[in-house]
């Protein structure tokens, strides 16, 4: 499956959004890889260790300075210094830019061949340009080249003062960044890079890049992307993450970062995978500017994984489907119950343990979610659980009753004047969880 550069997996809680980011990431990084969940996780961890994948979770206090770059205070020898520090997004962009990590490896391997040439000639080489110009170069493994434009001048100078000096770092900078480097590039650096390409095999790799459009993909996973202040965190990058505006594209754009004053663009081999919980209404949703730059992939509850599964006579799939149909009717489909909430049932080793897992899922996950969704409107919660259709109260999870005796005990006879009808009282029936029939009657009249 070919994925867009920016995607968001969205859906209700417990539908496996974060779980599936591993599969989506591997589809980008290694599309030919196939294996079970354990082998997928091992391969994913390998890419994380290689820094091809970065993960971050947005929250309300997450900022642009955390994500892109900001000024951080550091204490050194009792003195406070302020330093511009790159955030997780800037760091992965730097690694992804033109496949720089892999290009550096190839460059470093070529440097070893160059160093061997210098070692075999006592640290001095005379190289001829195609235009007949000679460069006399001294290099003694300290990363610095001393360059003399004429061999006669080199031989006649007792102090051997070079015409200029440069370093392997500068040459690597040109190789990895091309003309984007902020330095002034001198002719010798271009010549040395050309020599490494033509004579030391670097050109073959460059041709591979050109022919196959070789760019190693990188992935940034942003969990709970809608929990942060999106406009504030992304800032000017809202424009730059768009496919057509990335570096290497015909409409590419760059910006000047506010703290470091560096020129910055988003490489086109960086993929962003976000997850978004649609039930999280308490926080701001994504703004339109960013929303249109992402492809949205819906992930809804998948009860099919429980097909044909019965626990003490309870049809697990039918139970989940019935609960979700009622929630969608009484609230909306964005607040349905994800299948991951019940996954403990499927993983249980025997039927008794599976029933225990079902009880725990209802007590610790289903009920708290229903209370939050319906703001403790117990009448609607009873409708979701089918308690209103259960004739025997012992099978009702939430019991509804009117208690005149309790009202009189609390408020006295005068209390009846305040309530023309005794108010309804709801209480959780813990014993109902003990009976499989309580769950069966949730989906059967």
Residue pLDDT tens, the chain, 445 long: 567 899 999 999 999 999 999 999 999 998 888 889 999 999 999 999 988 999 999 988 999 999 999 988 777 777 888 888 999 999 999 888 765 556 666 777 788 888 888 888 888 888 887 677 788 888 877 778 888 876 555 555 545 677 878 888 888 777 766 655 556 677 788 888 888 877 777 766 555 554 444 568 899 999 999 888 888 898 888 889 998 898 878 788 999 998 988 889 998 889 999 999 988 754 445 667 777 889 999 999 999 999 999 999 999 999 999 999 999 999 999 999 999 999 999 999 999 999 999 999 999 999 999 998 998 789 999 999 999 999 899 999 999 877 777 777 777 777 667 777 767 788 899 999 999 999 999 999 7
Determine the structural domain holding residue 206 and report its residue range: 97-212
Is residue 131 in some structural domain? yes
Of 212, 234, 258, which residue constitutes the final position of a domain?
212
User: Which candidate, 116, 269, 110, places its Cα nearest to that of 204?
Assistant: 110
Please tell me the predicted confidence (pLDDT) of residue 166: 84
Beta strands in 231-358 (DSSP E): 255-256, 263-264, 270-277, 295-298, 310-311, 314-315
Strands 263-264 and 255-256: antiparallel
CATH number at residue 247: 3.40.50
Domains: count for the chain: 3
| 225 lies in the same domain as 80 | yes
| 292 lies in the same domain as 179 | no
| 38 lies in the same domain as 71 | yes
| 313 lies in the same domain as 429 | yes
Count of alpha carbons within 13 angstroms of residue 442, beta-carbon side: 30
Is residue 14 in some structural domain? yes
Burial of 362 (0-12, 13-18, 19+ CB in 10 A): buried
Query: Which pTM does this prediction carry?
Result: 0.72
Of 263, 298, 333, which residue constitutes the final position of a domain?
298
Please tell me the predicted confidence (pLDDT) of residue 406: 74
- Asked whether the beta carbons of 10 and 278 are under 8 A apart, the reply is yes
The pair phi, psi for residue 276, each rounded to 5°, is: -140, 125
- Asked whether the beta carbons of 442 and 396 are under 8 A apart, the reply is no
Is residue 92 in some structural domain? no
| 307 lies in the same domain as 439 | yes
| 371 lies in the same domain as 424 | yes
| 317 lies in the same domain as 420 | yes
Is residue 1 in some structural domain? no
Please tell me the predicted confidence (pLDDT) of residue 327: 96
Per DSSP, the three-state class of 32 is coil
Is residue 222 in some structural domain? yes
Cβ within 8 Å of residue 13, ≥6 positions away:
277, 279, 337, 338, 341, 369
- Asked whether the beta carbons of 13 and 277 are under 8 A apart, the reply is yes
Is residue 239 in some structural domain? yes
| 125 lies in the same domain as 73 | no
| 236 lies in the same domain as 286 | yes
Alpha-carbon span 376 to 417, nearest angstrom: 26
Given the structure tokens 């499989």, which residue do they identify?
436
| 18 lies in the same domain as 159 | no
Please tell me the predicted confidence (pLDDT) of residue 190: 81
Is residue 363 in some structural domain? yes
Please report, for residues 47, 57, 118, the alpha-carbon distance to residue 293 in angstroms, rounded to integers and kept in the order given. 26, 19, 51
Please tell me the predicted confidence (pLDDT) of residue 132: 74
| 50 lies in the same domain as 128 | no
Tokens encoding 179: 């003309």
| 38 lies in the same domain as 58 | yes
Of 243, 271, 298, which residue constitutes the final position of a domain?
298
Is residue 91 in some structural domain? no
User: Which candidate, 351, 423, 348, 299, places its Cα nearest to that of 19?
Assistant: 299
Please tell me the predicted confidence (pLDDT) of residue 98: 60
Stretch (H or E) spanning 327: helix 316-330
């Amino acid at each position: 499956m070919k994925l867009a550069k920016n995607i968001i997996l969205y859906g209700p809680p417990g539908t496996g959004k974060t779980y599936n980011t591993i599969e989506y990431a591997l589809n980008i990084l290694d599309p030919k890889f196939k294996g079970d969940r354990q082998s997928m996780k091992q391969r994913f961890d390998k890419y994380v260790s290689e820094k091809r994948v970065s993960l971050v979770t947005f929250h309300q206090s997450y900022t642009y300075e955390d994500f892109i770059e900001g000024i951080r205070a550091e204490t050194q020898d009792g003195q406070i210094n302020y330093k511009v520090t790159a955030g997780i997004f800037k760091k992965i962009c730097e690694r992804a830019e033109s496949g720089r990590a892999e290009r550096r490896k190839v460059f470093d391997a070529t440097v070893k061949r160059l160093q061997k040439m210098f070692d075999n000639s006592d640290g001095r080489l005379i190289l001829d340009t195609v235009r007949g110009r000679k460069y006399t170069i001294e290099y003694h493994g300290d990363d610095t080249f001393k360059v003399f434009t004429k061999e006669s001048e080199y031989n006649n100078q007792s102090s051997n003062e070079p015409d200029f000096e440069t370093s392997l770092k500068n040459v690597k900078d040109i190789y990895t960044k091309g003309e984007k480097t902020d330095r002034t590039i001198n002719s010798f650096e271009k010549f040395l890079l050309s020599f490494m390409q033509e004579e030391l095999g670097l050109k073959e790799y460059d041709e591979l890049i050109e022919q196959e459009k070789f760019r190693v993909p990188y992935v940034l996973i942003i969990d709970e992307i809608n929990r942060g202040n999106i406009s504030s965190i992304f800032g000017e990058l809202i424009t730059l993450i768009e496919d057509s505006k990335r570096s290497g594209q015909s409409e590419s754009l760059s910006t000047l970062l506010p703290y470091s004053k560096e020129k910055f663009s988003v490489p086109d081999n960086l993929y962003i995978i976000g997850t978004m919980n649609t039930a999280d209404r308490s926080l701001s949703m994504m703004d339109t500017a960013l929303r249109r730059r992402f492809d949205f992939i819906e992930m809804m509850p998948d009860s099919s994984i429980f097909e044909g599964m019965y626990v003490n006579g309870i049809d697990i799939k039918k139970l989940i489907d019935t609960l979700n149909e009622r929630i969608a009717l009484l609230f909306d489909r964005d607040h349905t119950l994800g299948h991951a909430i019940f996954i403990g049932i499927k993983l249980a080793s025997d039927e008794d343990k599976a029933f225990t897992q079902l009880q725990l899922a209802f007590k610790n996950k289903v009920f708290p979610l229903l209370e939050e969704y319906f703001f403790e409107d117990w009448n609607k919660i009873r409708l979701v659980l089918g308690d209103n259709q259960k004739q025997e109260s012992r099978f009702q999870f939430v019991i509804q009753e009117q208690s005149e005796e309790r009202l009189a005990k609390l408020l006295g006879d005068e209390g009846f004047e305040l309530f023309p009808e005794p108010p309804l009282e709801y209480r959780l029936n813990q014993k109902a969880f003990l009976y499989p029939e309580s769950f069966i009657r949730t989906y059967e009249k």
